[in-house]
Structure 1
């Protein structure tokens, strides 16, 4: 108990320390004086001049009253559409105004702006300077000659200093423009110049001095200077609240010392600018869009002032789960308890951080929709991480396994061996393959068994007749039955076998047509049925003839992970999956729970679940008593996994109430641990389905970024980072557990990872097919097929290959359009490339089945892959 309490306190303390380390207050020179001026756009959170949603005069009045507390003047950008009230309201609050007119290629708009500018400039004494156009030359909306005409018109009408606002390089490039103005209004925004924050103020001063040297007779006004608090990284320029606060403080002190005239860019955040300047356009304000100061002008600076509340909340969220886990799983080594406690705390912290980040942002309707999609997906990812982490923790650090079953020995003198009826259902299998299996069954070292061979709908008599003859040769314990026509697929054949089972048989065994069993199979496992609570005994599947075949080698070790890790873990709480070979079932349990389900294409798992529901226990002996033939082609391999995933959905749709806890209306007799393992065991397959959804969404979003950039912005990194983290965690989880529990080499572990990832798309398709269809033809896993040619190898992964190509095309297109100097662009490209890895793995594994060294010699198989109903 003390150890558990110490671990919890240690993790909580570490959590608080990490939050504090990432949010250390920063000391910066304070600013105590008045600010010369603010660039002022009066638009509030819900205003948008592009959509003619303009601020009301009373809102502008409140803005100017607030700004008068901090500064001496404001600079505006337009003199029409309701902004004509600014000079009068500014005068009311003692503010001077540098009045601006917006100019572009629209002649009529320009005329309205100039007329209003002249009128306001004449009427109000607090309008001290006039700025005709803002970056009109930079945007190429006007030529220098055209702009000069507007400048002359305003100067002639108003006896006040006149200029236009342009970046420093425009003024240096066009000295003739300088001759047309009374002062130089220069925009100095080092962020857009990709200048690192640490060098930003020095950069502003340098550019200012360049202009002063070039034009010593012209007064210089810095018409815009600032740094954004949020948005995309541009080269080495990183937006952040701390950077904005530090830049503003440093610049204000620098400007005061050197007598610079300036307007801070800008007074208030402008959410509407996201549509024209990207995400960064909304976050240049000294005040938020809700008119709250974003940072202090003196004292320590914090990137997120609410970090301490978030840290405490994250600790509180994680505290109870960590305590309960420590109390419930005391048989874990300290390393395991510490690891899972850290995982719980990290998940809680990431969740809290994710929930708080949007509070600092101005999300569009599309952004809110994306948030509504990504937030549940984020929670799902964290849940999967915790489930995988629990398996990881127990497998590595459990001190004693209470249900570690081994082959039983020491029964040589036993005489009361119960009768076992072995059922082998086959369809269109190569006869020589089945004959090998029958010979291995005939060699079983067990005194009391029968073998029923049920051939289901094989159309070619030349295929099934040799089996009939061989069963006759093996003697009366082997019975052959040919069914045609017969419904129900494999389950239908097995049910026929149940009705023909010897009356004295107490145990039913199922074996695949390609398995070679060891003689001690039954003698080593049947004694477990002496315990009347045991409903079925399961041994793992294993494979043969893969050693010199790259494709089947990878597949073999991918299968092995489930049987050496997942099944061992599930067995500890009596929650294993029954699979349709190397399984022995108590006949009375079948009688109680009902026969094989002909509606389900995973009739083995379905029956095992029903046997457990009847209150029987299961035994898993992690020892291979037989080896079969792995699928020869990627098409067969993924078809098999499609069937398993589709069948899992069928089972969940039918028995979902069995999986619910009692307080949610759950029914049935499954234990809480069994429910947990059945649900969480299939959950990663649903995560694969979400992977497909995210992949398609990412491609569509990329198209939106390329074709409709005014509506689409790069998703928040807080939602993308966990995707990368989850991918890395899954790789680590699999690799470490394989190293600890699966007896294979490094190259074989890597091959197994390729094989497993390559099934992602097939599993996703199966999940959606299972959710939205009622039934599907039984998909047989072909055995003994000749490996496909290279072209067919590609065709077997054609869907995966097309998605792979689409993802790479999107990544290339986004990089080409936006450039890699923007952090969010690079991050998005990485996401697209990571999303493409399972599809690349599928193509690679499919090709491996056709390349030299990736094939094996075999006899041709019958061409059919679907059993007749």
Structure 2
């Protein structure tokens, strides 16, 4: 009773604030979030009372302290997801929903410079992007193709030729031995941009752009405080191959859900394709950051810190290719997680100190990467569980299992968080259950790569920008196992620990059963990674009657 009273007292103020500040949610949504807060606080109270109810050695106390820290972090991740979940399902009306606008008269169109940076890309893929830009329903623009560090002339010479064929509006630059990766190429593009340009657009080398991209979004810049107008990333040619389907829907969830959540408080994540930036604002903040391997997101944050407005228009105006295989998307997520930690370290003073960021923007940029920190926490928890299991096996008197009282709620929180995503997908997107399952498997299967990216980003200062391969992956038996060797190793270690524990202590002991269950639950991300790799090797089949991408959401 005392623990329940303490939990209710600690949770009372946050729940009161929810009732007051989330008045634009319906009652059920506020009760849902308040209940989530109460569950998190109650779990923490239970953990803090473990030393009172059990006799713990110094070693046990260290383990308990680590678990309590893990509980706090897990609860923070869960609450941020719960807030996003609640807002998407229970908010009565969105205050910031931007749509494509009627185009300007051709004589009144601002001049736009579109920058296409590429490196070692298949020329036919890049030429398809260039040709789509040539077909835009917009008169006042130029295209700069910025090929950086591609040594093979067979890859960049066709691009130079195609730009020459399209006339002076298309300019090609081959930048040999150029520093700064993609950001370095884009900064060079700024230097050679037409002086008339008021807006700079960026598009990836694999995108086929809708003819109305500029015409429907440029009118948003009539508002002088608008610095960024971002359209969603989307994909084509994904329907007939299982792994491509998984990639399409897993990506699409963020643009249908997360970007709306952040856009509501002018805290969106800027992406390096299908983005438009006011040139004067871009130059004011110093261009693209070459120290950060996620230069697009970092730029968006600097612009928001300067007090500019950023807008997300959830209307698909271009489609690219999915990553070529599981190894490719793992490399991409590692880079994103690494870059996120670079940004967090560099901008933390602005997020918690004096800056133009309001409280809601600070919240989003501090908690926006909680999901990835949660993946890092899962990896720590897996290693910690293996070490503790080894201690139980080798020194059974020194390593007891009283911490199960707290370990189980942590895993329960993780399971609850995992369930929120599929529910959101089903309620907010035109997504069949089989694709929700596929997207969920991919999301879970990427946890190990993201965790490695988080830790590398926290420790290292500089990263290497690795282009995400598009198209299709190579063959061979070793090629299959190489991208998932670490996941296979972790899966083997967890299962071996569980089997050895059962063999030593028997299957009838309740605490052993619970700990084996905990070890088995932690196998899920590694099993998911193997399933992703299997899906990547499945053959592609024609799918009659389906279109080339996800259904746009403009509600």
Aligned counterpart, 2:277 = 585
CA distance in 2, matches of 1:464, 1:544: 24
- Give the paired residue count: 543
Q: 1:783 to 1:853 in 2, by over 3 A?
A: closer
Aligned counterpart, 1:375 = 68
Aligned counterpart, 2:248 = 556
TM-score (norm 1): 0.61
Tell me the SS of whatever aligns to 1:471.
helix
Aligned counterpart, 1:466 = 158
Aligned counterpart, 1:654 = 346
Shift of 1:715: 4.4
Structure 1 residue 360 and structure 2 residue 47: aligned? no
Tell me the SS of whatever aligns to 1:316.
helix
Shift of 1:509: 0.4
Q: Answer yes or no: is the 8 Å Cα contact 1:788–1:849 preserved in 2.
A: no
Aligned counterpart, 2:326 = 634
CA distance in 2, matches of 1:854, 1:821: 48
CA distance in 1, matches of 2:295, 2:367: 20
Q: Answer yes or no: is the 8 Å Cα contact 1:564–1:741 preserved in 2.
A: yes
Tell me the SS of whatever aligns to 2:107.
coil
Shift of 1:533: 0.9
Q: 1:854 to 1:559 in 2, by over 3 A?
A: farther
TM-score (norm 2): 0.96
Q: Answer yes or no: is the 8 Å Cα contact 1:596–1:604 preserved in 2.
A: yes
Shift of 1:791: 3.7
Aligned counterpart, 2:87 = 394
Aligned counterpart, 1:543 = 235
Aligned counterpart, 2:204 = 512
Q: Answer yes or no: is the 8 Å Cα contact 2:80–2:370 preserved in 1.
A: no
Aligned counterpart, 1:157 = none
Aligned counterpart, 1:272 = none
Tell me the SS of whatever aligns to 2:96.
coil
Aligned counterpart, 1:623 = 315
User: What does 1:846-857 correspond to in 2, within 5 Å?
Assistant: 846-853=533-540
Give CA deviations for 1:446-502 in whole Å, capped at 9, x if unaligned.
111110000001001111000000001111110000011211110000000000100
Aligned counterpart, 2:218 = 526
Aligned counterpart, 1:322 = 15
Aligned counterpart, 1:283 = none
Q: Tell me which of 77, 96, 101 is aligned to 1:408.
A: 101
Q: Answer yes or no: is the 8 Å Cα contact 1:454–1:480 preserved in 2.
A: yes
Q: Tell me which of 255, 278, 299 is aligned to 1:607.
A: 299
Aligned counterpart, 2:43 = 350
Residue ranges of structure 2 left out of the alignment (5+ in a row) = 544-555
Q: Answer yes or no: is the 8 Å Cα contact 1:515–1:628 preserved in 2.
A: yes
Shift of 1:707: 1.8
The root-mean-square deviation of aligned C-alpha atoms, in Å, is 1.5
Tell me the SS of whatever aligns to 1:543.
coil
Structure 1 residue 675 and structure 2 residue 367: aligned? no
Q: 1:639 to 1:678 in 2, by over 3 A?
A: same
Residue ranges of structure 1 left out of the alignment (5+ in a row) = 1-307, 661-665, 857-869
Q: 1:413 to 1:778 in 2, by over 3 A?
A: closer
User: What does 1:786-801 correspond to in 2, within 5 Å?
Assistant: 786-801=473-488
CA distance in 1, matches of 2:541, 2:11: 49
Q: Answer yes or no: is the 8 Å Cα contact 1:633–1:788 preserved in 2.
A: no
Q: Answer yes or no: is the 8 Å Cα contact 1:849–1:855 preserved in 2.
A: no
Aligned counterpart, 2:393 = 706
Tell me the SS of whatever aligns to 2:244.
helix
Q: Tell me which of 477, 490, 494 is aligned to 1:803.
A: 490
Shift of 1:422: 0.3
Shift of 1:309: 1.8
Give CA deviations for 1:161-189 in whole Å, capped at 9, x if unaligned.
xxxxxxxxxxxxxxxxxxxxxxxxxxxxx
Q: 1:483 to 1:414 in 2, by over 3 A?
A: closer
CA distance in 1, matches of 2:397, 2:405: 22
Q: Answer yes or no: is the 8 Å Cα contact 2:293–2:335 preserved in 1.
A: yes
Q: Answer yes or no: is the 8 Å Cα contact 1:790–1:850 preserved in 2.
A: no
- Structure with higher Rg: it is 1
Give the number of the structure with larger relative contact order, counting CA–CA contacts within 8 Å between residues 6 or more apart: 2
Q: Tell me which of 57, 61, 77 is aligned to 1:384.
A: 77
Q: Answer yes or no: is the 8 Å Cα contact 1:692–1:761 preserved in 2.
A: yes
Structure 1 residue 452 and structure 2 residue 452: aligned? no
Aligned counterpart, 1:130 = none
User: What does 1:765-784 correspond to in 2, within 5 Å?
Assistant: 765-784=452-471
Shift of 1:326: 0.8
Shift of 1:787: 4.5
CA distance in 2, matches of 1:802, 1:309: 45
